[in-house]
Amino acid sequence: MFQKMPELLNGVFVTFHVSVLAMLIGVVIAILLAITKMNNSKPFCYVATVWVEIARNTPALFQIYMAYFGLGALGIHLSPYVAVLSALVFINAGYLTETFRGGFSSIPDTQFRASRSLGMSSVQAYRYIILPQMLRRIYHPMTNQFVWSILMSSLGILVGMSELSGTTQKLQSQSFRTLEFFIVAAVLYFVLTKLVLFGASLLSRRLFKGDIG
Amino acid sequence: MNSLFTPLSWSDTGYILTGVWNTVTISVVAIVIGTLLGILVGFLRAESNRFVNVLLGGILDVFRSVPLIIQLILFSTFVGAIGHPLGPFVAGSIVLSIYTMAFMTEVFRGGFEGVSQSLQTAARSLGMTYWQTVYHIRFPIGLRAVLPSWLGVALSVIKDSALVSVIGYMELLRTSEQLISRTQQPLMILIGVGLFYFIISYPLSYYGRRLERKMAL
């Protein structure tokens, strides 16, 4: 059991790694989608809406199957890692688009005009007035989405990815100690999410200097 | 080889529909039980002292911080190991209900704590008993306020019910997976399955967002 710890910790690392990547790429796409949705330029806005609605209204497992088996049928063969990553990116982008849009529209337009009339350029207004406030409001939902990514990357077990769950599955099938290995995996997930939440709250204290709006 | 893989036929519709039915059943069971327990525990958390609160919160936190798929595997292995193996439906319903409860508790606690204290004081001073206040004031106001978030959790349960397939429950995604391995036509079947989830989930989430906007005013 404990001899297998390095392998399990390696699984933890892969889980963390795939979630971080899924989050980073997801955020970038979500910003683009949110901008398209708010600009209302017809064909692109339509694509963004379809993306967001599909991501929000179908199960994560379905997305992973789609990336792994569905694209495979089209001749695009992804490795389990890439399949899980792209499914998570797809979903993260969909959810975060709405978060960003909500965060942006929660800052009243008058603030922008007020900062402009104080002599700021529009870049300055965004940089110093709009974005800091927005970041404060979307910080918490973003942390939640990150934790969700970590938990959902466990579905990699079903397509043979060697993240924490997949590694656990492999180890238990070699040793038949199903219960022990999955209990350890559960503890590792718990610790990982708690560490992430702790890190996020430390970071928020530094970023927002105490007052979280 | 031809006998091994046969194309999709109309008779498969019945098979898929069993999957649909099973997905709907287990989701409804989990949502109903999870909601009732969530109201109960949420109320307990809103009412109880600090010690009980921290304890309950800590326990529920475990269910929210461990992936559902691990919980499912653990539970079904565990009941097997202690000599009381449960069928996939029962085991899946239990795990999914508790998982739902963990999220619902927070939703309802927020609702109950949101009912203003002065309203309760007013009700008490009108001669209502404690339980009358709970029944006539806190429940109606608190429960109504959380309807949009309740809907959000319920929707995620429908989607998460797909994971019960790992312990062998024949829900929609699992039946489709079997059809895929027989017909080797993953794309068409998966798109059909996705469409089904979308058709259930989209109107509800649309309604939820409208409700949220209406209640925010």
Cβ proximity of A165 and B73 under 8 Å: no
Nearest to A160 by CA among A72, A89, A95: A72
Chain A residues lying within 8 Å of B185, measured CB to CB: 73
In the predicted model, what is the mean pLDDT of chain B?
A: 88
Contact (CB<8Å) B198/A158 = no
Residue B2: pLDDT over 70: no
Contact (CB<8Å) B193/A72 = no
Closest Cα in chain B, distance from residue A121 (Å): 33
Please name the residue of chain A whose CA is at the shortest distance from the CA of residue B180.
Answer: A69
Per residue in B129-187, pLDDT (tens digit) is: 989 998 998 899 989 889 989 999 999 999 999 999 888 888 888 888 888 888 888 88
The more confidently predicted of residues B45 and A39 is: B45
- The whole-number pLDDT of residue B4 equals 61
Burial (0-12, 13-18, 19+ Cβ within 10 Å), A202: exposed
- The whole-number pLDDT of residue A133 equals 87
Structure tokens at B199: 């058709």
Helix H or strand E segment including A87: helix A80-105
Please name the residues in contact with A71: beta carbons below 8 A apart, sequence gap of 6 or more.
A77, A78, A83
Chain B residues lying within 8 Å of A168, measured CB to CB: 70
d(CA A147, CA B163): 18
- The whole-number pLDDT of residue B173 equals 87
B44 close contact with A: CB closer than 8 A: no
Chain A residues lying within 8 Å of B191, measured CB to CB: 70
The amino acid present at A42, given as its one-letter code, is: K
d(CA B66, CA B109): 21
In this structure, the number of other CB atoms found within 10 A of the CB of residue A29 comes to 19
A73 close contact with B: CB closer than 8 A: yes
Please name the residue of chain A whose CA is at the shortest distance from the CA of residue B195.
Answer: A58
In this structure, the number of other CB atoms found within 10 A of the CB of residue A39 comes to 11
Residue B99: pLDDT over 90: yes
Q: For chain B, what percent of residues have pLDDT higher than 90?
A: 45
Among all chains, which residue has been given the structure tokens 């009700």? B123
Please name the residue of chain B whose CA is at the shortest distance from the CA of residue A194.
Answer: B65
Nearest to A162 by CA among A1, A45, A14, A6: A14
Structure tokens at A147: 């934790």
Closest Cα in chain B, distance from residue A137 (Å): 17
d(CA A66, CA A45): 24
Burial (0-12, 13-18, 19+ Cβ within 10 Å), A77: exposed
Secondary structure letter of residue A129 according to DSSP:
I
d(CA A160, CA A79): 9
B207 close contact with A: CB closer than 8 A: no
B163 close contact with A: CB closer than 8 A: yes
Cβ proximity of A61 and B173 under 8 Å: yes
B136 close contact with A: CB closer than 8 A: no
Give average pLDDT by consecutive 10-residue segment, chain A, 213 residues.
79 91 94 86 85 92 90 85 93 93 87 89 86 87 92 88 85 82 91 93 80 50
Comparing CB atoms, the residue among A53, A73, A178 nearest residue B186 is A73
Nearest to B85 by CA among B24, B162, B157, B168: B168
Structure tokens at A212: 């979280």
Contact (CB<8Å) B163/A185 = no
Per residue in B21-35, pLDDT (tens digit) is: 999 999 999 999 999
Q: What is the CA radius of gyration of chain A?
A: 20
Closest Cα in chain A, distance from residue B81 (Å): 8
Contact (CB<8Å) A58/B198 = yes
- Cα-Cα-Cα-Cα torsion B128, B129, B130, B133, nearest 10 degrees, comes to -30
Cα–Cα distances in Å, from B100 out to A119, B66, B108, B115? Answer: 52, 13, 12, 23
List phi, psi (to 5°) of B83. 90, 15
